[in-house]
Amino acid sequence: MIRARFNSIRLLTYLKETIITVLPEPSHVQNVFQAILKPGTLSKNGLSKERLFIDCSTIDPRSSAQVANAVHSTGQGKFVDAPMSGGVVGAEAGKLTFMIGASDDLVDRVREVLMLMGKRVVFLGPQSSGLKGKLANNYLLALNNIATAEAMNMGVKWGLDPKILTDIINTSTGECWPSKINNPVPGVISESPASKGYEGGFGTALMNKDLKLAMQTAKEAGIKCQLGPLARDIYSEIEESDELKDKDFSVVYKYLGGK
């Protein structure tokens, strides 16, 4: 409790010189910064150092670069992309991982701020590198989630106990975040969204958004994605279902006919 209060006080002291944004879509980030950067909106009075903008949204690198250029060209400060990973569970426990794209001279300053909210800050390279790392991670997560749901559905339909099957997977080569932390079968992990009617967690629409952003960014770089389009179609069908939409993305298990 004392540590949490201390971190809160420290975080408040940063707010004069640091602005942190976390928004769902690229257009949201662009609109917010368009408003922030209007002449007269931000004052430099009382600042002891150049203002720092840390965007923790998961958006496409091209949009992020456009915002960064706008920040730098207006002389309002420095912009850093710092998408986070760890999900709702990680956020509630203060154990998020931040992937940052920034100039070398900003890394220590950014890390000091973000460590108040997470357990790990990884520097990936210049601006937009954090987003590229996050999109690669979430692309894999989107695929792993479907593969885990299919494997669990197989086992349950074959008559296997889902908890025993999960234990086998998590102590073998099939282990992954969807099998260990966010298992899609209700009752296997008591605190998972699946055990709470697939409520909370990471929504299917957000997962599909990140998947599409990853494929878009890959296409711009001439990178072929074979499995992505198949996963996108599955998540899109879930989004169109009145019964399944607005649920945690592990609801793909239910979409597949899982018990």
Q: Which domains does the chain have, with CATH numbers?
A: 2-127 (3.40.50.720), 133-255 (1.10.1040.10)
Residues 100 and 114 sit within 8 Å (Cβ to Cβ): yes
pLDDT at 7: 46
Q: Look up 134 and say whether it is catalytic.
A: yes
Total-model pTM: 0.87
Residues 250 and 194 sit within 8 Å (Cβ to Cβ): yes
In the chain, beta strands by DSSP E: 18-21, 52-55, 78-81, 84-85, 96-101, 118-125
Residues 49 and 75 sit within 8 Å (Cβ to Cβ): no
Q: How far apart (Å, rounded) are the C-alpha atoms in residues 86 and 104? A: 25
C-alpha distances (whole Å) from 19 to each of 8, 41, 54, 140, 190 are: 15, 13, 6, 30, 36
Instruction: Quickly count: other Cβ atoms within 10 Å of residue 21's Cβ.
Output: 16
Q: How far apart (Å, rounded) are the C-alpha atoms in residues 207 and 247? A: 11
Residues 258 and 155 sit within 8 Å (Cβ to Cβ): no
Catalytic position from the list 134, 212, 247, 254 = 134
Residues 21 and 32 sit within 8 Å (Cβ to Cβ): yes
Which tokens in the block code for residue 86?
């760890």
pLDDT at 13: 44
Q: How far apart (Å, rounded) are the C-alpha atoms in residues 60 and 259? A: 36
Question: What is the pLDDT tens value at each position of the chain, 259 positions in all?
Answer: 334 443 444 444 445 789 999 998 999 999 999 998 988 888 777 777 889 999 999 999 999 999 999 999 998 999 999 999 887 777 777 889 999 999 999 999 999 999 988 999 999 999 999 999 999 999 999 999 999 999 999 999 999 999 999 999 999 999 999 999 999 999 999 999 999 999 989 999 999 999 999 999 999 999 999 999 999 999 999 999 999 999 999 999 999 998 7
Q: How far apart (Å, rounded) are the C-alpha atoms in residues 115 and 100? A: 12
Longest CA pairwise span in the chain (Å): 68
Chain centroid offset of residue 19 CA? 19
Which tokens in the block code for residue 60?
């496409």
